[in-house]
């Protein structure tokens, strides 16, 4: 089991120095997947052949003395929202169940170029819509700490795979918290970088103005290493940022002495599990103990974040999902009567209930006569939320809050109550509306043995401060070293 315990940075070092072969590593992880994934269902597609082939190629290049990159041999999982050429990409939906993409997306291409080995495609809520992974058309993924519970959503498969050692790192996407919330619920580290920091080219769109790609890993330094590889300007994504990529790994060891840590009262309100509040407050004390300065701040528009988010994300989703019409790719209804029948039956059969609910909401929010009352107003509130943060960041360098108000809940527990489910993202959504970087890392366990997440938010392009805070906290604890014992 020694291979499985190495961090990504340590493992890449061993592969590069030929102490370990990439094939050996891939085999170890594939064996673990074969053993545990039937229980966890963290993967939709496991690409054992592709992974071994990629690993062999890396070993061959190393044998020729070539440089194979910073992530040489690191086995990773890609949320099944990432388009992979020649490898089925479902986005958790029946409508794309058999879709084999004709091209490769940018984040995965950059990982592969850095030597990472793709083990497969991780389970997810359909089209990234959900907070529990129960909306996957391929069946729910389970939380490795308690398989009766959800791993969180929508990157639940990625988080569960990382936590259960079914991969060493993973990519997820975060539209309203979909990297950070499952990271918190599974006890992994996950970061949603600044909007535009990572290319969205080849990432199936849910809500374009909110979606952002980020890594999940076991440690902050591994997350930083993955982010350094996938971040950076991409000419194929007009919203990607031109600024140079920061030195995230180095920032993890920078410490917090002199950093001003903002704590907003609005995030410690009713509905927050007392155990979580206790763990987060203890974490804040720890940071202060290491020399950080505590600053009380206010984010007054926080209470509007969920309503705003669901207006904007459903509006964009209703448009982004229009292309699944049965004409060019994906599922197509058999023997349609006419064009309307082709569209409606394909979409009726192809989409799950949550996706349909959001398409209908979004279509309504954009329709003539309601645009100003809903979408336009949502945009105005979004601006206010953004202003809240920019004012707060005049007084502090990073903000520390809980990631989720609750620990992992039971499968099916919230499935019949979408509004209750939407509240699971209450602490993560504002960050997407404002386009800020946000990281979640383990900061303790509940009395039931479930992970608790600490969230660190930063200024736009303030990833280095975020890593500095997270790294400082992580060094003082060993929560991240705990391994879930997956029991049937």
Partner 1 sequence: MPWEVVIGLEVHVQLATQSKLFCACSTQFGAPPNSNVCAVCSGQPGVLPVLNEQAIVLALKLALATGGTIRRRSRFARKNYFYPDLPKGYQISQYDEPLAEHGAVEIWHEGQLRSVRLTRIHLEEDAGKNIHLATGAASLVDLNRAGVPLIEVVSEPDLRAPAEAAEYMRTLRGIVRALGICDGNLEQGSLRCDANISLRPWGQQALGTKVEIKNINSFRFVQKALEYEIERQSELLARGQAIQQETRQWSAEVGRTEAMRSKEEAHDYRYFPEPDLPPVEIDERLIESLRVALPELPLQRRQRLMEEGGLSDYDATELTRETELTDYYHLAVAAGGSPKRVANWMLTELLSRVDDARDVARAPVAPAGMAELLGLVESGKVSGKLAKDIWAKMWTSGGSALKIATDGDLFQQSDSAALEQAVRAVVEAHADRVAAYRAGKTKLMGWFVGQVMQATEGKANPKLVNTLLQQLLDG
Cα 472 to Cα 221: distance, rounded to the nearest angstrom: 11
Angle, in degrees to the nearest 10, between helices 463-475 and 220-230: 160
Percent helix, strand and coil across the chain, each rounded to 5? Answer: 45, 15, 40
SS3 458: strand
Catalytic, 79? Answer yes
Active-site choice (93, 131, 132, 154)? 154
CB of 313 to partner 1, least distance (A): 11
Is there a contact between 43 and 122 (Cβ–Cβ < 8 Å)?
A: yes
Q: How many helices (H) and strands (E) does the chain have?
A: 17, 11
Report yes or no: 141 and 123 within 8 Å, Cβ to Cβ. Answer: yes
* CB closer to partner 1 out of 304 and 343: 343
CB closer to partner 1 out of 123 and 403: 123
Q: Please state, as a whole number, how many other Cβ atoms lie within 10 Å of the Cβ of residue 217.
A: 29
Minimum distance of partner 1 from residue 188's CB (angstroms): 24
Minimum distance, C-beta of residue 327 to partner 1, in the bound complex (Å): 5
Tell me how far apart the alpha carbons of residues 204 and 81 are, in angstroms, rounded to a whole number. 5
Give the C-alpha separation, 80 to 156, whole Å. Answer: 11
Report how far residue 343's alpha carbon sits from residue 341's, in angstroms, rounded to the nearest whole number.
Answer: 5
Give the nearest distance from C-beta 154 to partner 1 in angstroms: 16
Q: Is 178 a catalytic residue?
A: yes
Which backbone phi and psi does 284 adopt, to 5 degrees?
-65, -45
Sequence-distant (≥ 6) Cβ neighbours of residue 100 within 8 angstroms: 86, 87, 88, 89
Q: Sheet holding 451-458: strands in order across?
A: 43-46, 117-122, 75-79, 169-174, 212-217, 189-192, 438-445, 451-458, 398-402, 260-264, 293-297
> From the CB of 371, what's the least distance to partner 1, in Å?
8
Give the C-alpha separation, 167 to 186, whole Å: 14
Residue 290 CB, nearest approach to partner 1 (Å): 39
Please indicate whether residue 154 is annotated as part of the active site: yes
Closer of 123 and 143 to partner 1 (Cβ): 123
Write the CA distances from 42 to 121, 167, 441, integer angstroms.
9, 10, 20
DSSP single-letter state for residue 374: I
- Residues 131, 158, 178, 240: which is the catalytic one? 178
Cβ-contact 362, 315 below 8 angstroms? yes
Q: Closer CB to partner 1, residue 5 or residue 103? A: 103
SS3 state of residue 82: strand
CB nearer to partner 1: pick between 243 and 391 = 243
Residues found near partner 1 in the complex (CB under 8 A): 82-83, 89, 91, 96, 99, 101-103, 105, 200-205, 207-209, 235-239, 315-316, 318-319, 321-325, 327-329, 339, 343, 363, 366-368, 371, 375
Question: Residue 58 or 205: which CB sits closer to partner 1?
Answer: 205
Helix (H, G, I), strand (E, B) or coil at 233: coil
The smaller minimum CB distance to partner 1, of residues 213 and 472, is found at 213
Quote the least distance from Cβ 476 to partner 1, whole Å. Answer: 40
Q: How far is the CB of 332 from partner 1 (least distance, A)?
A: 12
What is the Cα–Cα distance from 230 to 175, expressed in whole angstroms?
A: 18
Dihedral over alpha carbons 403, 307, 461, 244 (to 10 degrees):
120
In terms of CB distance, is 137 or 204 closer to partner 1?
A: 204
- The active-site residue out of 79, 240, 404, 430 is 79
Active site (catalytic) residues: 79, 154, 178
């Amino acid at each position: 089991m020694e291979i499985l315990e190495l961090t990504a940075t340590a493992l890449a070092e061993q592969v590069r120095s030929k102490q370990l072969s990439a094939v050996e590593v891939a085999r170890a992880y594939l064996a673990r997947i074969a053993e545990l994934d039937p229980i966890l269902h963290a993967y939709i597609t496991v690409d054992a052949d592709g992974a071994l082939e990629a690993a062999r190629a890396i070993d061959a290049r190393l044998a020729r003395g070539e440089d194979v990159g910073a992530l040489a041999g690191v086995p990773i999982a890609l949320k099944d929202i990432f388009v992979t050429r020649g490898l089925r990409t479902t986005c958790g939906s029946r409508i794309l169940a058999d879709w084999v993409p004709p091209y490769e997306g940018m984040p995965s291409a950059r990982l592969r170029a850095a030597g990472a080995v793709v083990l497969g495609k991780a389970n997810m809520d359909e089209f990234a819509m959900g907070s529990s992974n129960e909306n996957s058309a391929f069946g729910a993924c389970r939380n490795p700490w308690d398989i009766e519970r959800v791993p969180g959503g929508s990157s639940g498969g990625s988080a569960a795979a990382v936590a259960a050692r079914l991969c060493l790192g993973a990519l997820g996407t975060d539209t309203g918290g979909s990297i950070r919330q499952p990271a918190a619920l599974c006890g992994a580290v996950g970061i949603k970088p600044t909007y535009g920091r990572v290319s969205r080219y080849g990432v199936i769109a849910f809500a374009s103005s909110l979606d952002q790609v980020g890594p999940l890993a076991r440690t902050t330094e591994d997350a930083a290493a993955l982010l350094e590889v996938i971040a950076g300007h991409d000419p194929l994504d007009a919203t990607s940022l031109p600024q140079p990529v920061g030195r995230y790994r180095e920032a993890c060891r920078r410490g917090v002495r002199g950093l001003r840590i903002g704590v907003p009262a609005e995030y410690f309100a009713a509905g927050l599990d007392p155990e979580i509040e206790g763990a987060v407050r203890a974490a804040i004390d720890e940071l202060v103990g290491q020399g950080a300065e505590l600053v009380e701040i206010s984010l007054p528009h926080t209470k509007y974040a969920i309503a705003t988010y669901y207006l904007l994300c459903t509006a964009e989703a209703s448009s982004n999902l229009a292309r699944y019409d049965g004409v060019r790719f994906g599922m197509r209804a058999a023997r349609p009567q006419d064009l309307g029948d082709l569209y409606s039956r394909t979409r009726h059969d192809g989409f799950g209930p949550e996706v349909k609910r959001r398409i209908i909401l979004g279509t309504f929010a954009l329709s003539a006569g309601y645009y100003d009352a809903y979408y336009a107003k949502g945009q105005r509130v979004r601006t206010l939320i953004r202003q809240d943060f920019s004012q707060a960041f005049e007084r502090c360098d990073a903000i520390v809050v809980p990631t989720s108000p609750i620990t992992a809940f039971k499968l099916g527990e919230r499935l019949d109550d979408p509004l209750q489910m939407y509240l699971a993202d209450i602490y993560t959504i504002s960050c997407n509306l404002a386009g800020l970087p946000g990281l979640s890392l383990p900061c303790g366990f509940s009395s039931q043995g479930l992970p608790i997440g600490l969230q660190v938010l930063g200024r736009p392009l303030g990833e280095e401060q975020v890593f500095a805070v997270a790294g400082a906290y992580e060094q003082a604890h060993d929560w991240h070293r705990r391994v879930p014992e997956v029991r049937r």
